[in-house]
Amino acid sequence: MTQKRTNKTVPIPMPEARPFWEGCKKRQLLLPYCPHCQDYFWYPRPFCPRCFRWQVEWRQASGRGTLYTYAIQYRALNPEWAEDVPYVTAVVELEEGVRLFTLLVDCEPQPDKIRIGMPVEVVFEDLSEEVTIPRFRPVREEKR
Amino acid sequence: MTLYRKAAIVGVAESDEIGVVPDKSALQLHAEAARNALEDAGIDKSEVDAIFTAGLGIMDSVLIAEYLGITPRYSDSTQVGGASFEFHVQHAAAAIAAGICNVALITHGQVNYSDRQRPWRRTRRWTYADPWLPASQFEGPHGAGTAPSVYAMAAMRHMYQYGTTQEQLAEIAVATRKWAQLNPKALMRDPLTIEDVLNSPYIAYPLHLYDCCLVTDAGGACVVVSPERARDCRKPPVWLLGAGESHTHISIYSMPDLTKTPAEIAAPLAYKMAGLGPQDMDVVEIYDSFTYTVLVCLEDLGFCKKGEGGAFVSGQRTAPGGDFPLNTSGGGLSYTHPGMFGMFLIIEAVRQLRGECGPRQVPGAKTALICGVGGVLSSAGVLILGRD
C-alpha cells in the first residue's frame, strides 16, 4: 500500500469483489446483478445468493439512495477510529434496492441533522493510490 | 419424532466466582462451572460422554475435553455467538434421542473484563483481521466494529418504523436492575431509574450506557441427559419441551429486515414442538445484550405484535411484581455478561422451574422460555422448558 492517504486499514480487494473496487477507482459504483432473477444483490460473490446461478453481471448504479438507518458512534473499539468520534455509520438503501453499510460524511453527527429516509448520494474517497472507497452524504436541497 | 421430553436438564451452575475474577483463566471458569453443574446433577464426570462448548477460538470442544479429561463420543463446538448454548441444548437432545450419547456437558467461560488489562490481549482478535472476508471489505472500513455500533442501527430503524422511544428501552434496563437487586450474585445492584438511563452517556446513539450489557468474567455449565438417566439425579428433571434455532446474517447489511430477528423463525419451531404458545409461559429469559434486543425479541417470540414491544414493556411490567416476569436473574444488563450470556439464561430458567430462586422466585413457575441471541441479531436459539 504505497501512498496511503488515511490512518485507517486499507481494504485488500477480494478476488470476487475486484470489479467493484476497480469501479470505485473510476468513480463508478458497480453492483452485482443476476440476469436470471433480474435483480441486484449485495455483497459481491461470483454467484447469485438467491438462485445460485454463477452468472453475474456488473451494472453501474445511480449512486443515489435513501438513508435506511444510522447510529452516531461515540466509542471506537478500533483505535484507528478513536479520533473520529463522534461519527455517523449508516445503512443506505440504493435506488437499485440493495442496502450498503457506509460512513455518512458531510453531515453533522447530530440527531436533528439526520433523518431516516433522507436522500443520500455516493462520494468516493481515495484511501490509497490503489483503493478508493464509496461513502455517502446527504443530498443538499439545492441539488435536488 | 420430535425432541419433546427426549432430554432433560439436570444440572446447572456458575463458576465459583463471577463478576470480576482477575486470577483465573477462562478454562478454569469452564472447569469450575462443569464441576458445580455435575455436582448439582449428582453425576460423576466419568459418565460424561458428550461435550459442547464455544468461544475459545478454534477446536473449542476438543480443548475443553482435554482440559477436563473427557474423551467424548459426541463433540460439538457450534459457535453462533451468545446463542451458542441454546443451540447446544437442542443438539445435545438430538444426539441423546438418537442414542449416540447419554450425558452431555455444555460449558462456558470467558474473562473478557479482566482480559482488558492483559498486555497479550491488547492486540485483539479483530473481527476484520482477515481482509478477505465480506465484513472486512464492506463494513469495517466504514467504522463499524463493536456490538453497540451495530445494534444501535437496528434499534434506530425500529424507532423510526414503530415509534419506539428511548424511554421504553430504559424501562427494560430499570426493570432488569430490580431483578438484579434480588440476586446476590448480580454485579450491578444499585437502584437505577429511567432518568439515570436517559442521562447516561451515549455509547452509540440511540443507545445509552445503561442500554448496554456488562462486560464481566464468568463461567457457566449445564448437564443434559436422557429421560432414563434423569430419573436418578439429585434434583427433579427440567424437561426440554421445545427447541428451535436459526440464523439469517452475520453482517447488518445482509439482515433481511432490521426490525426482525431470527427468533421469528426459531420460536414457532419451539412452540410447535412443545405444543404450547407464548401465553403458556410462566417465566421468560431473553438475551439482553442491549435493551433493544429484549424489546425486538418480545415481538418475534409472539408476546406482542410487531412494533408493539415498546408499549409492552412500559410501566415496569417486566419488573418484580409486574405481570410478565422477564430476565429474573438481572440479565446481562445487571447480573453478569462475560461476552456470551446464553448459558446464564439456561441456568436461571432451570433454577426458576426448580423453585430455587428465593426472593426473586416466580411463584409456581412450571414453564419457561429461553431466547438466546448471537452476533448482531444474527442467530437465535429458543428453548421451552418445563417441570413435572
In this predicted model, what pLDDT tens digit does every residue of B291-306 receive, in sequence order? 999 999 999 999 999 9
**Pick the residue with more confidence: A144 or A45?**
A45
Task: Judge whether B234 and B99 are in contact, CB under 8 Å.
Answer: no
Q: How confident is the model at residue A2 (pLDDT cuts 50, 70, 90)?
A: low
Residues of A in contact with B128 (CB under 8 A): 9
Residues of A in contact with B144 (CB under 8 A): 89, 101
Q: How many Cβ contacts (< 8 angstroms) between chains A and B?
A: 113
**Could you say which DSSP state residue A125 is in?**
E
Phi, psi of A89 (to 5 degrees): -95, 150
pLDDT for the residue numbered A1: 44
CA of A143 vs chain B CAs: smallest distance (Å) = 25
Question: Is B138 in contact with A43 (Cβ distance < 8 A)?
Answer: yes
- Give the CATH number of domain A15-143: 2.40.50.840
DSSP secondary structure of A41-59: -SS--SS-TTT--S--EEE
The nearest alpha carbon in chain B to A103 belongs to: B142
Residue A144 has pLDDT above 70, yes or no: no
pLDDT recorded at residue B119: 81
Rounded (5°) CA angle B370-B374-B375: 165
Query: What are the residue ranges spanned by the domains of chain A?
Result: 15-143
Instruction: Decide if domain B8-116+213-386 falls under CATH 3.40.47.10.
Output: yes
What percentage of chain B reaches a pLDDT higher than 90?
Answer: 94
Residue B210 annotated to the active site: no
Subunit contact B154:A69, Cβ cutoff 8 A: yes
Residue in A with minimal Cα distance to B207 = A71
The answer to whether B78 contacts chain A (CB < 8 Å) is: no
B156 vs A43, A69, A133: nearest CB: A69
Instruction: Give B177-207 pLDDT, tens digit per residue.
Output: 999 999 999 999 999 999 999 999 999 999 9
Within 8 A of A47 by CB-CB distance, chain B residues are: none
Q: pLDDT of A22-39, one tens digit each?
A: 999 999 999 999 999 999
Q: Which of B74, B271, B287, B292 is catalytic?
A: B287
- Per-residue 3-state assignment (H helix, E strand, C coil) for B118-180: CHHHCCCCCCCCCCCCHHHHHCHHHCCCCHHHHHHHHHHHHHHHHCCCHHHHHHHHHHHHHHH
Spatial neighbors of B104 by CB under 8 A, at least 6 apart, are B7, B48, B49, B50, B51, B52, B74, B88, B92, B95, B96, B223, B224, B225
Inspect the interface and report whether the beta carbons of B157 and A68 lie closer than 8 Å: yes
Q: Is B335 a catalytic residue?
A: yes
Consecutive H or E run containing B196: helix B194-199
Residue B340 in contact with partner chain A when CB distance is under 8 A: no
- Across the interface, whether the CB atoms of B148 and A75 are under 8 A apart is answered yes
Give the per-residue pLDDT at B216.
97
B55 or A50, higher pLDDT: A50
Nearest CA in chain B to A88: B143
Which residues contact residue B226 at a Cβ distance below 8 angstroms, ignoring those fewer than 6 apart? B6, B7, B8, B96, B102, B103
> pLDDT digit string (tens) for A91-135?
999 999 999 999 999 999 999 999 999 999 999 999 999 999 999
Are the Cβ atoms of A12 and B131 closer than 8 angstroms?
yes
Residue A142 has pLDDT above 70, yes or no: no
When mean pLDDT is compared across A10-14, B119-123, B307-311, B356-360, the lowest value belongs to B119-123
Would you kindly state where each structural domain of chain B is located, as residue ranges? 8-116+213-386
Q: Is B138 on the interface with A (CB under 8 A)?
A: yes
Helix (H) or strand (E) holding A138: strand A132-138
Confidence band, pLDDT 50/70/90 cuts, at residue B126: low
A74–B136 CB contact, under 8 Å: no
Peptide bond into A86 cis (omega under 30): yes
Q: Which three cell numbers stand for residue A91?
A: 445503512
- Nearest beta carbon to residue B252 from set A9, A101, A103: A101
Average pLDDT of chain B? 96
- Select the more confidently predicted residue: A7 or A84: A84
- Is the pLDDT at B92 greater than 90? The verdict is yes
- Give pLDDT, residue B187: 98
| Cβ-Cβ contacts under 8 Å, B260 against chain A | none
For chain B, list the strands marked E by DSSP. Answer: 8-14, 50-53, 74-76, 103-111, 202-205, 207-208, 217-225, 238-247, 283-286, 367-374, 379-386
Contacts of B146 in chain A (CB under 8 A): 75-77
Please pick, among B4, B74, B151, B335, the residue that the annotation labels catalytic: B335
Residues of chain A contacting residue B134, judged by C-beta atoms under 8 Å apart:
14, 43
